[in-house]
A and B are shown apart, each in its own frame.
Chain A
Amino acid sequence: MPAEQTRISPADAGRTVAGPSAIASDRKAALAAYESAPVPTWRRSGFWTTTLRDLDLESLSPREYPAVSSREELPQVVRDAIGDEQYAGLIVQRGASVIYTETSAGNPDGVIACTLEQAFDQHPELVAKYYGKRVSSEEGKFTAANAAMWTGGAFFYVPPDTSVEQPFQVINVIDEPGVAQYGRLLAIVDTSGKATFREFDLAPDIDGQALHAGVTEVFARPNSWAKVKTLQDWGAGEIFDVSTKRVEIARDAHARWFPVHLGGHLTKQTLDIVTAERGADMRHNGLYITQGNEHLDLFTTDLHESGDTTGDTVWKGAATGSSKASYEGLIEIREGCQNSHTYLQTHSLMLSKEAKVDAIPSLIVKTDDVSASHGGTVGEVDENQVFYMRTRGISREDAIRILVEGFFDPVIGGFEDERLEQLVRQRIAGKLAEASEDIAAYAATK
């Protein structure tokens, strides 16, 4: 395997940094911004800190890999995730390289599924209209890094009045230490179109450090329907993930976004869903489960830039081992956004004495005549429920697993996506099995 890879040394990063000619100067500026910005630390209310202190940034670099010509040659973790599923478009990015692309012959006219680099080449006007419009390179060190150094990338486009049944899928995979990956997805469902976009971030259990600094922009144009499913499962290796994802919903359009976080050594993600024009409607249903010494820091914003918009955010999370998970969910309603209605709920389940979960819903409302509410619960596995199930012949270990799966069931059931549902259930079951002794010991103390 090592023989195949090309390491891009900082000296010849020129090609990488140049990227598509249309944005060459932006990339230079972004690189300068990245290099001059200090490594950030995120602090909140004194006691929650996300720090990259342990990340040895200098030792990481983008890596290129040769393309493969069939699914069979893809890394195992990718093959496991895709099975024999059919896609409108499938793009697999390993390290810095898109190594595999598939598009369905049955796609309606005008549908585009290609690398973002190709899109800059072949559809420059379309790309210029959306690229970087929701996630600016100036938001922080890592959005700058992404803007400066992304290569490959994925571009999905569904033209007006077009409905695509099969999902568009991008998979970012990291399968060895030392890699810095700058994944980038730009997806657009145009006026009155309908599409499902999936982004999976996957890794086997690597031994060492790696970084994923991704940027995702999704646009649901007027009167369209977009389903967005983002899944993160970086395995047990030391993968740091600092990413920003934003979904913009235009007039009378609907978007459903299901973020799923199943693993990552340290994750700091900003996940925003923006109802940008009147009639925009969103649902944001996420879940996470953390284990071992994982550190997960999620900040979501339900941002209303226009009146007559609706939102519904529900997040569920569980923490095992000595992991730490923080979910901060903000509802922000800007001035002049009358008649917006939204609510946010967050529920967390503590499965271990050493685990920490922190759920902070908050509100910034600058308009009268809106309804916005939030609420949250933090719970534990209830020994009464466990006993009840045991009296039906179910072992303690299974009872706990079933209860945790039940806790997530309303979110998982909402995916309306058998493949994803199966993947997520399987992974959660695996994680609970790994943590079962710890969980049982904790439940027994209740």
Chain B
Amino acid sequence: MADLEIINLHVRTEEREILHGVSLQVNKGETHALMGPNGSGKSTLANVLMGNDTYEVTEGQIIFNGEDITGEDPEKRSQAGLFLAFQYPAVIPGVSVANFLRMAVNAHRDEPINVKEFRDKLKTNMDLLTVPREFTSRYLNDGFSGGEKKRAEILQMAMLEPTISILDETDSGLDIDALRVVSEGVNALRERGMGSLIITHYQRILDYIKPDFVHILLEGRIVEEGGPELVAKLEEHGYDWIREEVAQRAG
């Protein structure tokens, strides 16, 4: 069984079903890309994997490290090693980045981290992601630019060292240099064994972080799977050919 196993997941909001039976497997050390047009359900999947209860899972299962976490609390999933870098991270006014990181790190341990260990770890990761020093004293995401928010997400990921990370459009909003730096950060964690599911619209991030597998989500279903060659094909032709194929398959 894969480290993260999504089995026939059906998800709905009060109004309608958004995911119609999604299955996907991600192992530690693997990099998966998830692509698909706007509104196809990518962020919904990411949120459901983290336990956002505005969505209801009506069928299917999420298995993480062999345990069924379909109904588990978000904090338990995080503590178990699952991470989501949000497409639209929340603003947390009045809580500095450094403070927030310390609280998050402590939430993953029995004993609070000692001051020096935390400081060293923070410094290492800030260097890795070339985050400026003054960043850590600002209130988390409060008045951050789009790119700064994405960097703050990746800084959190680096500090929490998850086993599987979902990156929801982390590339959008990042300038070219920031994209390279963030990608290098992800690659460094991948070398330490982290698996990832990278949600994106663009080939560019996948040039830096080479995916092992590519999945295409269309209207709440995975309709195409393959290797990196799929990305190039999408970049060139868009989604129409997939829509046609799906229509043909449906006959």
Contacts and interface: CB of A to CB of B under 8 A. Distances in A.
B172 interface: no
A385 B78 contact: no
Interface residues of B, number: 27
B108 A393 contact: yes
B213 to A, nearest CB: 24
A408 B94 contact: yes
Given A392-B160, A394-B103, A410 B94 contact: yes
Interface in B37-57: 50-52
Contacts of B90: 382, 384-385, 387-389
Nearest to A390: B74
Q: How large is the interface on A (under 10, 10 to 19, 20 to 34, 35 or more residues)?
A: 20 to 34
A77 interface: no
A402 B103 CA distance: 9
A354 interface: no
B156 A392 contact: yes
A112 to B, nearest CB: 39
B73 A405 contact: no
Contact of A391 (B84, B95, B103, B108): B84
A23 interface: no
A393 B78 contact: yes
Task: Pick from B75, B84, B91 the residue with the most CB of A within 10 Å.
Answer: B75
A392 B94 contact: no
Interface in A344-367: none
Nearest to A406: B94
Contact of B93 (A389, A391, A395, A407): A407
Interface string A391-419: 11111101000110111111000000000
A81 B77 CA distance: 40
A394 B77 contact: no
Interface string B79-100: 1000110100111111100001
Contacts of A409: 93-95, 139
Contacts of B178: none
Nearest to A388: B90
Nearest to B109: A393
B234 interface: no
Contacts of A388: 86, 89-90, 92
B91 A406 contact: no
A395 B108 CA distance: 11
B95 A406 contact: yes
B242 interface: no
Of listed A382, A392, A394, A402, residue having the most chain B CB within 10 A: A392
Contacts of A392: 75, 78, 100, 103-104, 107, 156, 160
Contacts of B139: 406, 409
A393 B94 contact: no
Nearest to A407: B94
Nearest to B74: A390
Contacts of B103: 392, 394, 398, 402
A394 B83 CA distance: 13
A410 B95 CA distance: 10
B94 A390 contact: no
Contacts of B89: 388
Contacts of A382: 90
B95 A393 contact: no
Contacts of A405: 94-95
Contacts of A387: 50, 52, 74, 90
7 contacts: A384-B90, A387-B74, A389-B90, A390-B51, A392-B107, A396-B75, A409-B94
9 A-B pairs closest in CB distance: A406-B94, A393-B107, A409-B94, A388-B90, A390-B74, A393-B78, A392-B104, A406-B95, A390-B75
Given A391-B78, A392-B75, A402-B95, 10 more contacts: A388-B86, A392-B100, A393-B78, A393-B108, A396-B75, A398-B107, A406-B95, A407-B93, A409-B93, A409-B95
Interface of B: 50-52, 73-75, 77-79, 83-84, 86, 89-95, 100, 103-104, 107-108, 139, 156, 160
